[in-house]
Structure 1
Amino acid sequence: MAVQNLKATVNSSSSIHPDSIERDENLKTLLSKKKLHLVLDLDNTILESSIIQNLTTYDRDYVGVKLIEEKKVYQWVYEGKGFKDVYVTKLRPNVKTFLQKASTLFDISIFTLGNLTYTTKMIDLLDPERLYINSQVITRENVPLSTPWRKGHDLLSSHERVVLVVDDAKDVWEANAKNLIDIAPYGFFDDESSNKKSWTRKWADESEKYGELARVLRELKKIHKEFYNLEEGEDYESRDVRDAIKEVKRKFSLQGTKEAMSQHAKETINEIDECFKSMEVNCRKNRLNRIQTSHEVM
């Protein structure tokens, strides 16, 4: 249930297109700190929000007072001209740890198609002291009216070759698909239009230790390490994060030695065990598919 239907009227068509000088300076700064630029989506990537009125009866009963009082779900009010909506927001498990650890390797930006008021509230929940989300915040107001449902590198202050994107919606990044890191959508609240069972229906939640954000963080660390792993005669300014992504994927696909397979099988089994512990029945199929030989598991 990505928040696309906020009633606030946005009249701005402001542009924040950075110039080449700004990007060159940004590149020097990133390389000097041995960092890359990480761009995060909000809805269904690192959190989920819904107007309470739009929740199913089941979820209104489930979310109720208990989860709000325990601060597992945040309730807040969105006010505009002539309306007042009450929202609930559920942060994806492990997101604050993810932000803290990722910020040591990346400058972190938010790029969302929600509006600025909503985005500011979400950042207040995610990073109230603004310790980790330390780069750009790009919202609906900044997106060209000609392509209202598209995201692109043209609004980012960094060169494309140092940008990594984590977004559950691949299609909005069509022009920058090679910079995208896959993540499964986070659906905590019940969705009558989907056949997939929500976390509230399972009376559970995604695993913090073995869930999507933990997996993505591991992948981001590998890509960062690959980017800054220089060959003789190379320099950082010749590197491209898209090559690093490709190389990490190539190394993963070639993990055919007994030792590598055994280690990977152990990690996968741990993920499956954790899923069962948290009552997750629909563990991501690609986890299971990564075990390439059965004898290493038995």
Structure 2
Amino acid sequence: MTMNVLSSPSHSNCGHWYVRHGICLTCKKKPSHAESLPFDYLFSGLRLSQEAVSYTKRLTTLISLHTHKKLYLVLDLDHTLVHSVKVSKLSEAEKYLIEGEQPQGLKLYESRIVKVRPFVKDFLKEANKLFNMYVYTKGDFLYGKKIVKLIDPNKTYFEDRVITRRESPDHNKTLDHVLADERGIVIVDDTVAVWPHHMRNLLNITKYFYFKKDGINKVSYAERKRDESRSNGALANLLKYLKVIHSEFFSCEVKEELDTKDVRLLIKGPFKPYGC
């Protein structure tokens, strides 16, 4: 395996690659934040220079592809893995959810009620064999952490890889905050428009609505006491497609091809797989 990556900076010629709480970890100086990106989701107060980000992305991707045969999967949270609403927004026909026996996958979080999408548990278990996974939500830090804990309580699948509005305050999402080369990343999101610079990585999934949606005169899953299919729902069909993508990516017989192979050529995104 070839790894033509850059060397990390020396103390005498410091590029301030790794900064925490404003102090460079190499030279102990206080550099400007102008040329660095926040990675608080990994360690509080951590910022990496552009050079450090590029170096780390390439290195982690090569190790993952060659050693573990894993690609990277960036998953949206709301309407992709869960649906949550304020308890006060429940319709009259949905209030049984907080008064009696609750259906599987329903959780209360402060003033919100959260429904985990059917098949999430199996999806994460199987996808974890093929991908290093991130969650990327435009929710705030505490919300993102709490909701992810509901679906991954032991940090088995995501560890601390939960990117929130704290690191990414803009309306759009970006792979700049994901420590992997874009050529090895698959994105799954119910909203295409938030990924204007990474459409080729994107798989679009149908929005998951369990509770009644404001302004929509349609009976919700909760009101009907039904839910999306586990065996033939969006996540089950998505998993089938991801397995195909993974198999095709690693089908090459020459290991050196993994140094340049690009999953975007297989996805041809933005693309909505059948049944998703």
| Normalised TM-score (structure 2) | 0.75
Shift in Å, 1:67: 4.2
Aligned partners of 1:107 and 1:135 also within 8 Å: no
Aligned partners of 1:167 and 1:183 also within 8 Å: yes
Shift in Å, 1:213: 0.3
Shift in Å, 1:66: 2.7
Shift in Å, 1:119: 1.1
Residue from 187, 194, 212 that aligns with 1:165:
187
Secondary structure at 2:84 match in 1: strand
Tell me which residue corresponds to 1:120: 145
Output the amino acid matched with 2:85. Answer: S
After the TM superposition, list the runs of 4 or more consecutive aligned residues in structure 1 that deviate by more than 4 angstroms.
Answer: 231-234
| Normalised TM-score (structure 1) | 0.70
Tell me which residue corresponds to 1:96: 121
Secondary structure at 2:166 match in 1: helix
Secondary structure at 1:29 match in 2: helix
Tell me which residue corresponds to 2:167: 142
Aligned length: 225
Aligned partners of 2:201 and 2:268 also within 8 Å: no
Q: How does 1:26-105 map to 2 (within 5 A)?
A: 26-31=60-65, 32-60=67-95, 62-68=96-102, 70-77=103-110, 86-105=111-130
Tell me which residue corresponds to 2:17: none
- Paired with 1:102 and 1:76, the residues of 2 have a C-alpha distance of 26
Output the amino acid matched with 2:84. Answer: S
Could you tell me which runs of 5 or more consecutive residues in structure 1 were left unpaired when the two chains were aligned: 1-13, 78-85, 253-285, 288-298
Task: List per-residue Cα deviations over 1:223-278 (Å, max 9, x = no partner).
Answer: 0111111166861112101012249x8xx9xxxxxxxxxxxxxxxxxxxxxxxxxx
Shift in Å, 1:64: 3.0
Higher relative helix content:
1
Shift in Å, 1:203: 2.2
Aligned partners of 2:175 and 2:198 also within 8 Å: yes
Tell me which residue corresponds to 2:228: 206
Larger displacement relative to structure 2 (97-106 or 186-195): 186-195
Residue from 15, 19, 22 that aligns with 2:38:
15
Percent identity of equivalent pairs: 33
Aligned partners of 2:184 and 2:262 also within 8 Å: yes
Aligned partners of 2:74 and 2:136 also within 8 Å: yes
Aligned partners of 2:202 and 2:267 also within 8 Å: no
Output the amino acid matched with 1:172. Answer: V
Shift in Å, 1:175: 1.1
- Paired with 1:114 and 1:56, the residues of 2 have a C-alpha distance of 24
Alpha-carbon RMSD: 2.2
Distance 1:233 1:207, change over 3 A: closer
Secondary structure at 2:179 match in 1: coil
